[in-house]
Amino acid sequence: MSIQYNVSALLREPVGSTREYEVADDVLIDGAAPHHEHVVGHAAFLRTKHGVLVTAHLQGVQREQCSRCLQPLEVPVQLDIEEEFFARLDPTTSASLPPPEEPEAFRIDPRHTLDLDEAVRQYWALALPMQPLCRPDCLGLCPRCGRDLNQGACSCQPEADERWSALRELVIEREGS
For residue 116, which phi and psi values (nearest 5 degrees)?
Answer: -85, -5
Going by C-alpha positions, the residue among 95, 90, 83 that lies closest to residue 46 is: 83
Give per-residue pLDDT as tens, 89-110. 988 888 999 889 999 999 999 9
Give per-residue pLDDT as tens, 6-29. 999 999 999 999 999 999 999 988
What pTM does this model have? 0.80
Q: Give yes or no for a contact between 36 and 1, defined as CB atoms under 8 angstroms apart.
A: yes
Give per-residue pLDDT as tens, 108-153. 999 999 999 999 999 999 999 999 999 999 999 998 899 999 999 9
